[in-house]
Chains A and B, each alone.
Chain A
Amino acid sequence: MSRLQNQPTLRVDTNKPLSFTYKKKTFSGFKGDTVASALFSGGIRIFSRSLKYHRPRGLYSLDGECSNTGMEVNGIPNVNAEKTLLEKGMQVKAQNVKGSPELDAMGFMDSLDRAMPAGFYYRTMHKPARIWPIALQQVRKAAGLGKISPDFRMTGEFDEIFPTTDVCVIGGGPSGMTAAIAAAETGLRVILLEARPWLGGFFDYRQSEFSRDLPHYQRARELEARMQTLPNIRVFTHTAMVGAYSNNLVTAFQIGNEKDPFDERYLEIRAQSMIVATGCIERPLLFENNERPGVMQIACAHRLANTYGILPGKRAVFSVAHDLGIEAALDLFDAGIEIAAVADIRDNPSHAALVSELEQREIPYLKGWVAREALGAPLKSVSLTTLQGTFEKKLECDLLVASAGMTPVTGPLSMAQAELAFDQHTGFFLPKSLPVGVYAAGRLLGLNDSRAIEASGQVAGLSAALNCGKASAQALKDAQEMLAGRPQAERGCNLVMAPVKGRKAFICFDEDTTVKNIKQAIDMGFDATELIKRFTAAGTGPGQSGIPGHNLPLLVAQHHTDHGALTRPTTMRAPLVPTLMATYAGTNHLMSKRTPMHERQKQDGGVMRKIGVWNRARYFSDDFSCRREIENIRNNVGMLDATTLGKFRIFGPDALKALQRVYVGDMAKISPGKIKYSAMCNEDGCIIDDGVVVQRGENDYYFTTSTARAGITVEWIRYHTRYDGWDFNLVNLTDAFGVINLAGPKAREVLSEVIDADISNAAFPFAAYQEFTALDTIPVRIMRLGFVGELSYELHVPGSWMETLWDALSEAGKPFGIANFGLETQNVLRMEKGHLIIGSESEQRTTLHDVGLGGLWDRNKPAVDTVGAVALQQTENQEKRLKLVGFKMKNTRTPPKDGSIVVDDRIRGHVCIARYSHTLQEAVGMALVEDPLHAVGTEISIYEDECQGQLVSATVVPMPFYDPKGERLRS
């Protein structure tokens, strides 16, 4: 179809054709077309079939207020074709049809509407109950619109930005632009969001006069040019608002153009003031077959011609209730469409001048008439009636422009917590009250005069600026006066439905809900609009209430006697427009931590696992029992990267007091050159951490925590001293030091290759702490600890030196059989020693005494209100607590799974860890069990999942299992 030439409002570039495929044929459009406008220009009138009745659907709003043009584009379902810009090579397919939209084999469903009253699925398909699973299958097949394969992989670039601004303006029409300009002129930072790919709003496509010799579309471009001269306005087009939250947090998503490095991006904007200038959509006119292809809203028909250069039909009938309808009729007549009649619901139109222009063109103008039925699919004729139903008229046409008048776009306003109330004069839901920092402007206030619309934008912009501390009260007063001098909000049309029964008057297109269905719901006792919405499904489709949004509460209000006092649109929730999941996911950087030895360990065969935020090596072989690594440590020497351990410096006059507060031991009793092992508990006396403390100087300590607690320790200590006003300082050194655990009988020999000092057992015994220099250069803090039960050194080396020291130890250890070991090996070794890992051998409710560490608590240390002391005292002799015990399996070398439960006549505890120990040649483990089961010698029964009722037996034995005297680690 050829396009209208000489349209100065055209937004398509007829010099840039773009071809695409649909129904296995090649179609052509232009740059600037949407998929829908290009298909329409190619002759397509039926775009889809509706959800329930499979009724043919076509272009209606051109803004995606319904999902009539929901199609599959490039494999992605439910794409709204009328909002999607055409790109070369797109593959477009129809959805929800058996055959084609023109000849859908499911079309017979339309005649079954009597069998499907409102809410029929709630009442029919589960009686008797056994038919529901079958019904469910069938409903699943019939329901839904698009299809997607679970293997579908989304491609594209999805980005995100988090800008801060002073004023955020939603809507780039005339009032949005004047608001942005007014605010920006005071020097504030302004962000303006516009959902369409271009600015201009309802000025953009109109050649009617804004002022003498200045058509509306040119006025819009003037405003846009003015905005471009203000560098403090950031304009985002093709950016739809998605949500608004407290403290003026606005979310939106932007569709990228071909120059942008993203396909879509998510915006999260924090503003001081927010202006909603989202304008109006049309309130759909309800009559029989009001959703036939060929029935269009005013702006849809008008913009097809003026924005896209496409004639929406050959011969039209208009049934409107607003001057914009008359303006559109005049424009379309001048563009070449025959107009059979313009029926106007109002019998007192605002502008006599417009009506006289109809007369000049000899277009019949019917005051007080309205469409009652659209006939023919495709549309062939329309039946009109007077409002009182006294007379009827049938006119032939292929286009019916139908509209019950304008209605404000209230979604963004209500998300911004505006309170809406119905206004009788305008027929609009107007903001009755707005929260501080939120302002409204433009057509959505009911204004129709172009200058008034602009002036209201200025008022909003200056009010928003005043809220940010800029702009003078005087400037605002002047703007308000100017607004007051213009025509105020216009009387609107209150008609909801033509005088028809409504069996095929669709109040919601997406869900195929008719006015008859609404009446059925009301007859069943539903009275609240929210409940009627849910029961009939009206407004729950992808159009997100674009069609029924305001008609539904107005229709319901007609039935009620409260005269619409509580009439409100149903609650709007984010996202206000359908948004791709990929857009919400954004760039999704996964931030995790690595130790300096990460790459080296991987090269050495390390199998890495995530532990909280860290990546750590769990295994160094395919054998996850780690037998070789374990034996190597018991016999030779191994190296583990323990860098993730929490490490802290605490210093200052009250450092000791702070330590005493959080550690259960008496921290005053730290001997020089020795570590002190202690634990931290919470206020319930439950163990939350263990670690070692050394004193490095006067009021100067260095202490370690578990990996899991490293990130929270400073917070914990500050929290538990928040009322004291103590003078102490903390530095988190967790990342500052790499930690190398050198363990095994040959560890000393390896270490002496890099340390030139006396590290004999006499000079540097178990539990000692000393600072050395390795390789004559590297400062290293060394502790002798015994977590894995062998001679073992924990080397704390500055992170930037770690690789050098590690490599040196690896080399030095070769003759001694040195090898890496990972967390699983460490896990088994420490289990053999009965050493606990918090969170494994303890639960949230496990106290210090429960795990046998009550000895760490010094109840006599000077009173400092140690965290946990009260509860420790109250629970130490409590009965029926779960206690940590060691056990040995009977009659089997197979250990039970970690987490298996211990039972007798009921659950008595659980297995914390169990492994087959190659060292001991027995299956052993640790469990938390209730008394009386924790006595040594007790036989316990263990239930594993999937054990088919076969319990396994174990005996409680003393710990440690391995080297009970601790000779190995003290050697």
Chain B
Amino acid sequence: MALTLTCPVCGKRNGYEFRYGGEDKGPKPDDFGSSPETWCDYVHMNRCVAGIQKEWWCHRDGCGVWFTTHRDTLKNLEME
């Protein structure tokens, strides 16, 4: 895959080596469980930023580490 991602342990690698872990939403906020709707929103709703997004990736085919990085979703390129 053309996309490259920089694993903090292994360095820059082919996008295919990684699994996408979603937008970084931070740890659960305190009021997360007040209703099924708020819980569902926290788990499933995404901001879908058209631009630079902070997201989680796992180096599945390599060292296995989970890390965050910034990617420009319009160009599908990792920010340097």
Residues of A within 8 A of B (CB): 245-247, 249, 270, 683-684, 714-715, 718-719, 722-723, 865, 870-871, 873-875
Give the nearest-CB partner of A245 in chain B. B2
Interface string of B31-72 (1 = CB under 8 A from A): 011011001000100000000000010101000111000000
Task: For residue A877, give the distance in angstroms from its CB to the closest CB of chain B.
Answer: 12
**Assembled-state Cα–Cα distance A459/B8 (Å):** 35
Select one of B28, B43, B66 contacting A722, CB under 8 A: B66
Pick 8 A–B contacts, CB within 8 A, sort by A. Answer: A246-B76, A683-B43, A715-B58, A715-B66, A719-B56, A722-B56, A873-B33, A874-B39
B4 engages A247 (CB within 8 Å) = yes
Is the pair B77, A247 in contact by a Cβ cutoff of 8 Å?
yes
For the complex formed, measure the closest distance between the CB of A939 and the CB atoms of chain B, giving whole angstroms: 33
Judge whether B19 and A874 touch: CB under 8 Å. Answer: no
B3 at the interface (CB under 8 A from A): yes
Contact A719 B58 (CB under 8 A): yes
Assembly CA distance A247 to B78 (angstroms):
10
Q: Which residue of A lies closest to B60 (CB)?
A: A715
Known interface pairs A683-B43, A718-B64, A874-B39. Does A723 touch B27 (Cβ–Cβ under 8 Å)? yes
B residues near A (Cβ < 8 Å) are: 2-4, 14, 19, 21, 26-28, 32-33, 35-36, 39, 43, 56, 58, 60, 64-66, 75-77
Neighbour of A247 across the interface among B2, B28, B35, B43, CB < 8 A? B2
Docked CA distance A560–B3 (Å): 39
Q: Which residue of B lies closest to A250 (CB)?
A: B2
Partner of B36, one of A270, A715, A719, A874: A874
Which residue from chain B places its CB closest to the CB of A417 in the assembled complex? B75
Name B4's closest neighbour in chain A (CB-CB): A247
Given A245-B2, A246-B77, A247-B77, A870–B39 Cβ distance below 8 Å? Answer: yes
Chain B neighbourhood of A722, CB < 8 A: 56, 66
Further contacts, 14 of them, CB under 8 A, given A247-B77, A719-B21:
A245-B2, A247-B2, A247-B4, A270-B14, A715-B58, A715-B64, A719-B58, A865-B28, A870-B32, A870-B33, A873-B33, A874-B35, A874-B39, A875-B36
Q: Which residue of A lies closest to B12 (CB)?
A: A247
Return chain B residues, CB-CB under 8 Å to A249: 2
Judge whether A246 and B58 touch: CB under 8 Å.
no
A92 to B64, CA, bound (A): 53
A714 to B27, CA, bound (A): 20
User: Which of B32, B33, B64, B76 is within 8 Å of A714, CB to CB?
Assistant: B64
Chain B residue contacts of A245, Cβ below 8 A: 2
CA distance A723 to B77 in the complex (A): 25
Q: In angstroms, how far is the closest chain B Cβ from the Cβ of A352? A: 50
Q: What's the Cα separation between A719 and B18 when bound, in Å?
A: 14
Does B66 lie within 8 Å of A246, measured CB to CB? no
- Give complex CA distance A143, B73 in Å: 42
Distance between Cα atoms of A530 and B27 in the complex (Å): 48
- The list of the 5 closest CB pairs from A to B, nearest first, reads A245-B2, A246-B2, A723-B27, A249-B2, A870-B33
| CA distance in complex: A530, B35 (Å) | 51
Closest B residue by C-beta to A682: B43
A341 to chain B, nearest CB (A): 51
Contact: B43 with A715, CB < 8 Å? Answer: no
A718 B36 Cβ-Cβ under 8 A: no
- Find chain A residues with CB under 8 A from B66 CB: 715, 718-719, 722
What is the CA–CA distance of A501 and B12 in the complex, to the nearest angstrom? 58
Q: Is the CB of A684 within 8 A of B43?
A: yes
Residues of B within 8 A of A683 (CB): 43
Pairwise interchain contact A246-B43, C-beta atoms closer than 8 A: no
- Give Cα distance in the complex from A718 to B26, angstroms: 15
B11 nearest CB across to chain A (Å): 12
For the complex, give the distance between the alpha carbons of A247 and B13 in Å: 11
Min CB distance A135 to B, Å, is 42
Q: Which residues of B contact A865 (CB under 8 A)?
A: 28
Which chain A residues border B75 with CB–CB below 8 Å?
246
A95 to chain B, nearest CB (A): 36
B3 touches A246 (CB 8 A): yes
Best-buried of A714, A873, A874 by chain B (most CB within 10 Å): A874
